[in-house]
């Protein structure tokens, strides 16, 4: 195959991907950004300004909710890493070749069920008349029913369960390429388990850690169903504010502005995380 034919083949393969990006991501974002700059001054009369963004800044409830969403999302990311790293290490380095596929399949099973069904599953377990409360009453450990829902702890638990797989996958991919002789050399040079983990395993797995943290943080901050269903009115989430602007108030201009504020905020947190970890986005994607 000559060079012209190769270029044509690559171009034909790239066109569907390019169309997907342009039609479903780039153009909608351009339209939303234009919408966010519109200010209604009369029925069906608009002018371009930053009024919708100023409304966000001047209302403490909005940016307080955004900061709260970011803080809880960082906590979810940390817990997902804390849970997902040992699981990924076991799958990649400890489990046998036959059991790797089965273990990975067990991690994938939750994705076969929609977020809505998974959230209602937690509700059945944690509500006042749910499985856990009823079991504790039947065992005599508590006198009356307990409501485990509608608090931040429940939201964090539900989000970690939802996104932990997206932490495990890049970690397994990165750790699987690590030579076992590197770990053995660490022990042979007098290192203990903690030293080998800190000096060898974690630095090697850093691209996978960063990639998993980026995906988990973005998914957590942009989640809607889990915080609303498990947190209720006691757990405000910024995506609820966006929904309220679009659907409840029918203020699409403000909703579009809030959506871009969330995008800018999460992108800034990701950029800050890359700077602090000394990683770059290109190297992270390539190695994970």
Show the domains of the chain with their CATH numbers.
58-287 (1.10.3720.10)
| H-run or E-run covering 168 | helix 152-176
Distance CA 231, CA 237 (A): 9
C-beta of residue 212 within 8 angstroms of C-beta of residue 80: yes
Distance CA 87, CA 209 (A): 13
Q: What angle do CA 177, 182, 185 make, to 5 degrees?
A: 165
Phi-psi region of 44 (alpha: psi -120 to 50; beta: other; left: phi over 0): left
SS (H, E, C) 242-287: HHHHHHHCCCHHHHHHHHHHHHHHHHHHHHHHHHHHCCCHHHHHHH
Instruction: Provide the residue-wise pLDDT of the chain in tens; the chain has 288 residues.
Output: 567 777 778 888 888 888 989 998 899 999 999 999 998 887 777 899 999 999 898 989 999 999 999 999 999 999 999 999 999 999 988 887 788 888 888 888 878 888 888 888 888 888 888 888 888 888 888 888 888 888 888 999 999 999 999 999 999 989 988 888 888 888 888 878 888 888 899 999 999 999 999 999 999 999 998 999 898 776 789 999 999 999 988 899 999 999 999 999 999 999 998 888 777 766 565 555
Q: What is the pLDDT of residue 286?
A: 57
Q: What is the pLDDT of residue 282?
A: 62
C-beta of residue 56 within 8 angstroms of C-beta of residue 241: no
Q: What is the pLDDT of residue 4?
A: 72
Distance CA 260, CA 242 (A): 10
**What's the alpha-carbon Rg for the chain, to the nearest Å?**
23
Distance CA 88, CA 91 (A): 5
Q: Which residues contact 111 (CB under 8 A, 6 or more apart)?
A: 165
């Amino acid at each position: 195959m000559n060079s012209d034919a190769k270029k044509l083949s690559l171009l034909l393969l790239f066109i569907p991907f390019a169309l997907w990006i342009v039609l479903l991501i780039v153009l909608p974002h351009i339209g939303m950004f234009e919408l966010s700059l519109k200010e209604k001054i009369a029925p069906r009369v608009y002018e371009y300004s930053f009024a919708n963004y100023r409304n966000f800044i001047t209302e403490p409830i909005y940016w307080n909710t955004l900061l709260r969403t970011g803080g809880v999302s960082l906590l979810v990311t940390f817990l997902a890493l804390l849970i997902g790293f040992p699981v990924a290490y076991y799958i990649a380095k400890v489990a046998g070749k036959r059991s790797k596929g089965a273990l990975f399949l067990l991690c994938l099973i939750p994705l076969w069920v929609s977020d809505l069904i998974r959230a209602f599953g937690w509700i059945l377990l944690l509500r006042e008349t749910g499985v856990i409360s009823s079991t504790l009453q039947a065992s005599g450990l508590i006198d009356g029913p307990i409501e485990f829902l509608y608090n931040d702890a429940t939201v964090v638990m539900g989000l970690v369960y939802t996104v932990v797989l997206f932490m495990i996958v890049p970690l397994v991919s990165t750790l699987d390429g690590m030579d076992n002789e590197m770990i053995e050399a660490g022990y042979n040079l007098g290192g203990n388990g903690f030293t080998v983990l800190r000096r060898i395993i974690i630095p090697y797995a850093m691209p996978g850690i960063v990639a998993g943290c980026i995906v988990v943080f973005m998914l957590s901050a942009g989640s809607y169903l889990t915080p609303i269903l498990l947190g209720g009115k006691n757990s405000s989430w910024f995506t609820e504010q966006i929904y309220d602007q679009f659907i409840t108030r029918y203020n699409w201009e403000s909703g579009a502005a809030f959506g871009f504020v969330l995008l800018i905020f999460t992108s800034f947190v990701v950029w800050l995380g890359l700077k602090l970890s000394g990683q770059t986005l290109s190297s992270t994607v390539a190695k994970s």
